[in-house]
Structure 1
């Protein structure tokens, strides 16, 4: 069984900035929960799992976080 490796937000941002990771890598190494949610996100919308949809998913998660903070839920 392959061990999944997850990174902190800071580590992920650095890996994307240096070109080591793309957006799909970012999602897949953020957390097990993100990986599962992203798969459901794509399947429920009939989308392919790729860099473009991974970036859209990250934007959605950012919006959700901002909304939660605005509502005092964060």
Structure 2
């Protein structure tokens, strides 16, 4: 299996803004943990892996981060 390359968030945002990457690319190049969590997220919710579910997953992760910040956990 080929080694997956991960990028810092700033690079991923640039690739999204340039149109080089979509949401699925963003998730897949963020981290191995995100890839696993995304697969579980799709399985738990009965979603198909793709742009729409990847965008929903990123919104979900953003919500988790906001909640952690509010609790002082992040």
The number of aligned residues is 74
Q: For residues 71 and 41 of structure 2, what CA distance do their matches in structure 1 show? A: 24
2:45 pairs with 1:61: no
TM normalised by structure 2 equals 0.98
Alignment of 1:1-74 (within 5 A): 1-74=1-74
Kindly provide the CA deviation profile for residues 38-64 of structure 1, in whole angstroms up to 9, marking residues without a partner as x: 001001111000000000000000010
TM normalised by structure 1 equals 0.98
Unpaired runs of 5+ in structure 1? none
Instruction: Give the drift of 1:71.
Output: 0.5
Q: CA RMSD in A?
A: 0.5
Kindly provide the CA deviation profile for residues 4-49 of structure 1, in whole angstroms up to 9, marking residues without a partner as x: 0000000000000000000000000000000000001001111000
Q: For residues 60 and 43 of structure 2, what CA distance do their matches in structure 1 show? A: 16
Unpaired runs of 5+ in structure 2? none
